[in-house]
Amino acid sequence: MSDTTLPQHAQIDWDDQGRPHSRQYDDVYFAINEGIDETLHVFIEQNHLRQRYAELAPGGCLVIGETGFGTGMNFFCAWQLFAELAHAEARLHFVSVEKYPLSRDDLERAMRLWPQLAPFTRPLLDQYVAIHPGFQQLSLDGGRVTLTLMIGDALEQLPQLDARIDAWFLDGFAPAKNPDMWTPELFAQLARLSHPGTTLGTFTTTGWVRRALIEAGFAMKKVPGIGKKWEVMHGVYGGAPAAPAA
Ligand SMILES: C[S@@+](CC[C@H](N)C(=O)[O-])C[C@H]1O[C@@H](n2cnc3c(N)ncnc32)[C@H](O)[C@@H]1O
């Protein structure tokens, strides 16, 4: 009998340089060599986070939503920049959905790849216990940073979320390998949780993904990529598309 209180962990193979590869999806968690640079370019830059962090007023809060928490690298990079640029009384809320969370041992192993992020990875690891299906909220940096992890399939978890997301990181493996993370139903959830001006960054420029995001109300634009990715995309939510005239 399966125990519904335990998540199904990610099945990971490690290459000879210590990088994780998903056996479930036959895909890499992040690009070879360009991991952090790609995160900065695709998710931080396309969502203008440097400027938005710097402009946060005391007491202000920026809410980032992510599809695919994986090793948490995007979260650590977003937090590191927030710590560097945001007002001491501003807050960051990072909400991420993950179907197959890494086991604690695998997460620790992944974190060894980025010793420079240790001030951010260690506090998360300390709280990365009893990760279970459903929502869990981790409070970090004395409450200044909140991480909400939604453990389960994105299409089951996102409809239960009540939030107002300012910036999205779409990071659910390549659409060809994992089409479930790029469906119109999922994008309708992103739209529901967005407000006019909510931004989005993703590494994929696949045509049907782009068209489905536009259908959901995001104005999408291809921009120059990084490393092996020639182009990536950013988007801005324009509000719910007008209903067709009766
Ligand atoms: C490219 S990896 C994410 C990398 C991650 N952002 C990082 O910084 O390591 C994609 C993630 O999406 C998760 N995923 C794939 N399909 C999913 C689904 N239907 N619902 C929720 N998570 C899913 C995978 O388990 C994997 O951890």
CB 100 within 8 A of CB 24: yes
Give nearest CA residue, ligand 1 atom 27. Answer: 70
For residue 142, the enclosing domain spans 36-237
Q: Is residue 245 part of a domain?
A: no
Alpha carbons 95 and 149: distance in angstroms, whole number: 6
Q: Is residue 29 part of a domain?
A: no
Q: Which amino acid is at 150?
A: M
User: Does residue 173 line the site of ligand 1, with CB under 6 A?
Assistant: yes
Ligand 1 centroid to residue 71 C-alpha, Å: 9
CB 149 within 8 A of CB 96: yes
CB 165 within 8 A of CB 62: no
What is the tally of structural domains in the chain? 1
**Phi, psi torsion values for 32, nearest 5 degrees:** -55, 135
Digits of tens for pLDDT over the chain (246 positions)? 445 577 899 999 998 877 899 999 999 898 766 679 889 999 999 999 999 999 999 999 999 999 999 999 999 999 999 999 999 999 999 999 999 999 999 999 999 989 999 999 999 999 999 899 999 999 999 999 999 999 999 999 999 999 999 999 999 999 999 999 999 999 999 999 999 999 999 999 999 999 999 999 999 999 999 887 889 999 999 998 777 676
CATH no. for residue 103?
Answer: 3.40.50.150
User: Does residue 19 line the site of ligand 1, with CB under 6 A?
Assistant: no
Q: Is residue 25 part of a domain?
A: no
Q: Is residue 8 part of a domain?
A: no
**Phi, psi torsion values for 27, nearest 5 degrees:** -150, 160
